[in-house]
Amino acid sequence: MRHPFACFTLSLTLCCVAARGQSASPSPAPLTIIRAGTLIDGVSEAPRKNQLIFVRGKRIEKVTDGSAAVPSGSHVIDLSNATVLPGLIDAHTHIFLWGEDPNKGGYDANILKAGIALRAARATYAARRALEQGFTTLRDVETEGAGYGDIEIKQAIEEGTIPGPRIFGATRAISTTGGYNLEGYAPELEMPKGAQLVDGPVEARKAARQQLEHGADWLKVYMTHRSWVDKQGKLVSQPTLTVEELQAVVDEAHGWQKKVACHAYNGIGLQRALDGGCDSIEHGLEITDAQIAQMKRQGTWYCPTLSPYYDDWAQPDTPEGKRDRARAAVHEISFKKALQAHLKIVYGTDMGGIPWTEPIAQEFKRMVSMGMAPMDAIQSATSRSAEMLDMKGEIGVIAAGAYDGSIFKNEIGK
Ligand SMILES: [Zn+2]
């Protein structure tokens, strides 16, 4: 895809400009002007031809028509043969997830056999991959047993030690006993878990406080866990937290002015996620009309992550194969209903679940193939995700006042 490439060029170039600015004397930051053959600004309905983007320091100063005067001495980046768009936002990733591929040992090997240094090295690779593909912001929704590693990778990026996108980290995530991997081992063994498990509102609130204390930008809660197909052929998902447990998490997060992302497939768990006040529904495979209406009323964000559910199905005659097909069938219906209802759909891939070697832009194709307008899909990965992340006007848009799309210190909440 061409768009991320143009964006990649923009990011890296401006990154260099920023580095030069930091090492120079205290004179005003140098002016860089990007000449865009076509500009998709992340907000407007139509692209604009032949635009100039004036960047001073970390921020965009103004955007003008291509005929505007270029001050002498400014650094001009000529992208007149390219389409320029804001740094993209993937609102659902796992930089610490690696090895879901059964050939590499599956999920369990990632926790049982990879030490924390190896996992950090792989997360570093994932962060660089995202940046190289034009994704300058990630909402990384849990480390899968790697503790607070996402916040430390974020620190390493912010201090300039490694290249990577701006990260909103959810740290450990929260589920209940019986609500997360590792599972299926001898009951007398105390196995490590990929999430922080809680039972009861007191433990739920405590986990939220611990995660927020250690730097979580978002909280992630698993509201469903296992899923299967029942005798009637319907997809069923095991619910995890009660409404009271979730409310304790949400109440605590909102007090810190943070938000809660809820993994929820369908049924009881999805209903509890909405009743408990989740800010975003992750996956949302099967959403009823009443639940769509409730999301609309409550302003809930919807991060469908279509891609992982349409590849690598198990054999059709196995329970897993039936489950995989049932998931995909209802997911498409829910996505189309959400489009029709104008729910606030944000772009998320579940990278990590998808190997980090694969293209991050693949979700665009999937969304558009299911009826989303191309510009709507771009906005889901730019201005709309920015709004969910409380960064409206600062990222996901090319307009005066926005960051230049490169990697910079996350200044919110500091
Ligand atoms: Zn995920």
Question: What number is the average pLDDT over the span 164-193?
Answer: 97
Q: What is the pLDDT of residue 105?
A: 77
Nearest-5° angle of CA 18, CA 19, CA 20? 90
Q: Residue 92's pLDDT is what?
A: 98
Distance 348 CA to ligand 1 centre (A): 9
Please name every residue paired with 34 in a beta bridge, in sequence order, or none if there are none.
53, 77
Does pLDDT of 47 surpass 70? yes
φ, ψ for residue 262, nearest 5 deg: -115, 115
Instruction: Please identify every residue whose CB atom is under 5 Å from ligand 1, which is an ion.
Output: 350
- Among 372, 284, 352, 302, smallest CA distance to 138 is for 352
Q: What is the pLDDT of residues 135-178, one digit of tens each?
A: 999 999 999 999 999 999 999 999 999 999 999 999 999 999 99
Rounded to the nearest whole angstrom, what is the distance from the C-alpha of residue 119 to the centroid of ligand 1? 17
Rounded Cα gap, residues 319 and 229, in angstroms: 8
The CA 153 to ligand 1 mean position distance, Å, reads 18
Distances (CA, A) of 406 to 95, 132, 136, 350, 361: 19, 11, 6, 22, 18
CA-angle at 411, arms to 122 and 154, nearest 5°: 10
CA-wise closest residue to 310 among 291, 324, 293:
324
Q: In this predicted model, what pLDDT tens digit does every residue of 195-225 receive, in sequence order?
A: 999 999 999 999 999 999 999 999 999 999 9
Per-residue pLDDT band at 404 (split at 50, 70, 90) = confident
For residue 13, name the pLDDT band (cuts at 50, 70, 90).
very low
Phi-psi region of 251 (alpha: psi -120 to 50; beta: other; left: phi over 0): alpha
How many whole angstroms from 272 Cα to the centroid of ligand 1? 19
% residues pLDDT > 70 (the chain) = 91
pLDDT exceeds cutoff 70 at 21:
no
Please say whether the beta carbons of 190 and 173 come within 8 A.
no
CA of 356 to the centre of ligand 1 (A): 13
Closest CA to 285 of 251, 326, 313, 321: 326
Going from the Cα of 367 to the center of ligand 1, the distance in angstroms, rounded, reads 17
pLDDT tens-digit series, residues 269-322: 999 999 999 999 999 999 999 999 999 999 999 999 999 998 878 899 898 898
pLDDT for position 20:
38
What's the pTM value of the predicted model, to 2 decimals? 0.91
- 282-292: per-residue pLDDT in tens? 999 999 999 99
Between the CA of 143 and the centroid of ligand 1 the distance, in Å, is: 10
What's the gap in Å between 262 CA and the centre of ligand 1?
Answer: 10
Cα-to-centroid distance, 220 and ligand 1 (Å):
10
For 343-359, what is the mean pLDDT? 96
6 Cα: distance to centroid of ligand 1 (angstroms)? 27
Residue 26's pLDDT is: 66
Q: How far is the CA of 76 from the centre of ligand 1 (A)?
A: 40
